[in-house]
Amino acid sequence: MLNRIVADTQIQALCDLVNGSRKVAIVCHMTPDGDAMGSSLCLWHVLKAMGKTACVVTPDCPPESMMFLPGADKVLISSYNPERARYVLGGSDLIFCLDFNDLKRIDRTAPMVADSKARRIVVDHHLNPSIDADVLISHPEKSSTCALLYMVLSQAGWSDFIGKEAAECCCTGMMTDTGNFSYNSNDADLYEILAQLVAKGVDKDAIYTRVFNTNSVERLRIMGYSQYAKMQLLPEHRAALITLSREELNEFNYKKGDTEALVNVPLSIPEIVYSIYLREDEPNYVKVSMRSKGDFSVKDICERHFGGGGHRNAAGGEVHAGLDEALNKVLEVLPIYDPMLPANDEID
């Protein structure tokens, strides 16, 4: 039996809103990852099985690596078709916001959601949600929105509407947000959900192969190069730093997603507490990604210095400048956090 973690009053309110709606839109955060795409498409399949008109709106283009998800080709990409996105969001009775806690995370789609008269339900696992909603289901202790959504659907009594395709989407997000059940995964509910998904026909091993063990030649080469030639260790800060310039990205024919999880790699060095990856996406725009271990919070660093946020151990932000300036900024910021570093024997 799954734990019932969501208040009955919230489930009732959610059921009333869904039952009373005909047209439902589902929105997830920009640069959607496995959990954002997985939860959105899982819910899309479920709503369609319930006879609703439903549409997933992504702020920007989903990554190629998630296009295997059933229904991914039906997603409405707001940045490609803003007029249509505004029309769909404006004309919906109900909007689900999945896997984000702040309208800033949906970029130019934010005013379309804010201006819509649709009722709003948030299902999310990021800390400190700031989205106004009729029903706010926020559980930061859950490792993925997919797992949380499954628990919500199951508490709502809608398990039978979760078919094989919805189950595949759900399983994908649970896997990606836990690194295939290697972190944030000491939660018995996860395995109960997984058992139910496999019983619905999910081939978990096939999803693993698609998500974690399918690489392009370009990805393998840029990952190798980044670790061999670009990983810098800063032992005095117990940090690792990887930077990739526009020229390097071009040289390796970089495509979105090619360096996915690169930032995690240095954390496998026991002495390293946190890892920083700077990627010069545009001439004056650097994407910042950070990962950490234990209590050391990269969310705080990204919030305070890089206009971003995220989770304690996985966060991101940005610098509106060239790579050199972004690097200088990081090197300025690092010493501030030396006092927060754990004693050597406190981390894995």
Binding site for ligand 5GP (CB under 6 A): 105, 126, 289, 308-311, 314-318
Contact at 8 Å (CB) between 52 and 21? yes
Q: Could you tell me if residue 27 is left (phi over 0), alpha (psi between -120 and 50 degrees) or otherwise beta?
A: beta
The entry of Mn ion, ligand 5GP, none that residue 99 binds, CB within 5 to 8 Å by partner kind? Mn ion
Please state the closest distance from residue 282 (CB atom) to ligand 5GP, in A.
14
Please state the closest distance from residue 16 (CB atom) to ligand 5GP, in A.
30
The entry of Mn ion, ligand 5GP, none that residue 315 binds, CB within 5 to 8 Å by partner kind? ligand 5GP
35 touching Mn ion, by CB under 5 A: yes
> Which of 93, 99, 165, 258: binder of Mn ion (CB under 5 A)?
99
Which contacts qualify for 195-203: CB closer than 8 Å, 24 or more apart? 196/150, 196/159, 196/167, 197/150, 197/167, 197/168, 197/170, 197/171, 200/162, 200/163, 200/164, 200/167, 201/164, 201/167, 202/164, 202/167, 202/168, 202/171
Cα 47 to Cα 32: distance, rounded to the nearest angstrom: 20
Structure tokens at 268: 């496998």
93 touching Mn ion, by CB under 5 A: no
Interface region with Mn ion, contact rule CB under 5 A, candidates 5-13, 33-41, 186-194, 211-219: 33-41
Nearest Cα to 102, choosing from 127, 119, 68, 120?
127
Which is nearer to Mn ion, 93 or 316 (by Cβ)? 316
Q: Give the CB-nearest residue to Mn ion.
A: 35
What is the enclosing helix (H) or strand (E) of 43? helix 34-49
Count of residues that interact with Mn ion, criterion CB under 5 A: 4
Which is nearer to Mn ion, 140 or 322 (by Cβ)? 140
Please state the closest distance from residue 34 (CB atom) to ligand 5GP, in A.
10
Please state the closest distance from residue 187 (CB atom) to ligand 5GP, in A.
18
| Site residues, Mn ion (CB under 5 A) | 35, 99, 145, 177
